Amino acid sequence: MSERPTVEAYKKNIQEGKFRALKCSSCGAVITPPLGTCYNCGGNKMEWTNVSGKGKLVSFTVIHVAPDEFAPEVPYIVAIVELAEKSRVTARLAGFDPLKPEAIKIGIPLVLGYEKGKSGKNYLSFRPA
């Protein structure tokens, strides 16, 4: 946990199913996705931190028309999730029928997990808590 966080390492952690967030070494703010400077205090020293994996749904959409890379996966849900640590991530949302979006309620509690796409890529994916 002592190495300096990089964008490459952040992405690799997701691919390996070992998500970690960044933490500002000066003020402790949790930062996702990576930034070079903390907008809370202006500090530019970052370290890794583990997150609780708890979050809530901020917004979502169901993608029906996608570029080639994701076309075999439609329809799929993309969501903005606010982590318990107050930072937000853009991720997949699982555990719902993408053809019944009206059933998905903003603000519901979610837990962090992973989902392997047909491309073989691992996505951050949340499901209902």
Partner 1 sequence: MPLKKTFIVSGAQTKFGALEGVTFREMLAEAVDKATIQAGVPKKEIQAVFLGTFNPEMLIHQGHTAPLLLDYAGLRGLPATRHEAACASGAVALRAGIMAIESGLYDTVLVGGVEKMTSVSTNKVTEALAAAADDEFESGVGLTFPGVFALAAVAHMNRYGTTQEDMALVAVKAHKNAASNPLAQFQKEITLEKAMTPKFVAWPLKLFDCSPISDGAAALVLSSDKKAKQYTDTPVKIVGSGQASASMNLSGRSDLTSFEASVAASRSAYKMANLTPKDIDFAVVHDCFTIAEIIATEDIGFFKPGEGAKAVREGITAKDGAKPINPTGGLKAVGHPVGATGVKQAVEVYKELIGAAGANQVPKHNIGLMHNFGGTGATCVVNIMRRADA
Q: What residues line the site for partner 1 (CB under 8 A)?
A: 7, 11, 32-33, 58-70, 73, 75-76, 78, 80, 88-92, 101, 106, 117, 121, 123-124
Distance (Å, whole) CA 118 – CA 73: 7
What's the one-letter identity of residue 9? A
Identify whether 75 is preceded by a cis peptide bond (ω within 30 of 0).
Answer: yes
Smaller CB distance to partner 1: residue 48 or 70? 70
Smaller CB distance to partner 1: residue 2 or 99? 99
- Least distance to partner 1 from the beta carbon of 96, Å? 12
What's the one-letter identity of residue 92? R
Smaller CB distance to partner 1: residue 2 or 67? 67
- Least distance to partner 1 from the beta carbon of 111, Å? 17
Q: Which two tokens stand for residue 90?
A: 């853009």
Smaller CB distance to partner 1: residue 6 or 52? 6
Nearest in space to 78 (alpha carbons), one of 67, 91, 66, 89: 91
